[in-house]
Chain A
């Protein structure tokens, strides 16, 4: 509680995420998607829809990569012969 009260935004790191810091990848991808769509598309029709879809697809793809890496490290690597 003391930490929360003493927290000064922008001057010191935010400690509210704890071990769930990985969720911050979603707003990161969203920010990238906003800039990408603003510069890449010839028209801005459906801008936020496209940005949202870009965010969802990219985040989902990264999640799949993480899952693949998890499966590889925990299930594939242990069964490989060690010489």
Chain B
């Protein structure tokens, strides 16, 4: 830590200090040059509580992530939110396969994944109508259920197992939960009017 670092950062950084290792402190120095936290964090504003809730933007935001913000005029913010949510969801399916979204077998996970909106239901439809019916891939016998005389269920050769399935499921579920955050943000965000639209 250097004295000059303290002088330069002051209250502008999170920590207010600068670590100087072997004369290099690029990360924290870059951070100190960012706007102050109090200028960037959206604090609760009492006057905002009386504003009407944006139910239309909320619904549109559930139909497709980030569209609620775009509808309210916060185009850049909406595109960022859309990138994050859709990226997480597609990343999950890419890692674990479409079997990660399963309304019947993983119902609890699907409750979280459904936050993404129709995309999650579409992925579940692809899984149940294409993979589980054997229209894509093959259906093979699975190990018989423990202590059961029932015939072993047939599963798709594309069914995902191993940590890839768990991580893919987690990605998709977190995408849904984060989209709920985005939806709630659209519910209360102040719409931009006229020249304000387009941040």
Q: Which residues of A contact B (CB under 8 A)?
A: 8-15, 17, 21, 24, 27-28, 31-47, 49-50, 53, 56
Q: Top 9 closest A-B pairs, CB basis?
A: A34-B84, A35-B84, A13-B160, A38-B80, A31-B88, A39-B185, A13-B97, A13-B164, A35-B178
Q: Which residues of B contact A (CB under 8 A)?
A: 27, 30-31, 34-35, 39-43, 69, 76-77, 80-81, 83-85, 87-88, 90-91, 93-99, 131, 136-137, 158, 160-165, 167-168, 170-171, 174-175, 178-179, 181-182, 185, 199
A-B contact pairs, 10 of them (CB 8 A): A31-B84, A32-B88, A35-B84, A35-B88, A39-B185, A42-B43, A43-B40, A44-B77, A45-B40, A50-B40
A28 and B34 within 8 A (CB) = no
Q: Which residues of B contact A24 (CB under 8 A)?
A: 95, 167, 171
A43 and B87 within 8 A (CB) = no
Q: Which residues of A contact B170 (CB under 8 A)?
A: 28
Q: Specify the chain A residue showing the minimal Cβ separation from B156.
A: A12
| A39 to B182 CA separation, bound complex (whole angstroms) | 6
A44 and B76 within 8 A (CB) = yes
Total of A-B residue pairs, C-beta within 8 Å? 121
Query: Could you say which of A28, A36, A50 contacts B171, with CB atoms under 8 Å apart?
Result: A28
Q: Which residues of B contact A12 (CB under 8 A)?
A: 97, 137, 158, 160
| A43 to B77 CA separation, bound complex (whole angstroms) | 9
Q: Specify the chain A residue showing the minimal Cβ separation from B199.
A: A44
- Chain A interface, DSSP helix/strand/loop, else mixed: helix
B174 and A31 within 8 A (CB) = yes
Q: Specify the chain B residue showing the minimal Cβ separation from A25.
A: B167
A49 and B93 within 8 A (CB) = no
Q: Specify the chain A residue showing the minimal Cβ separation from B171.
A: A28
A32 and B41 within 8 A (CB) = no
Given known A-B contacts A11-B136, A13-B97, A21-B167, A41 and B84 have beta carbons under 8 A apart? no
Query: Could you say which of B41, B137, B165, B171 contacts A40, with CB atoms under 8 Å apart?
Result: B41
B76 and A28 within 8 A (CB) = no
Q: Which residues of B contact A27 (CB under 8 A)?
A: 91
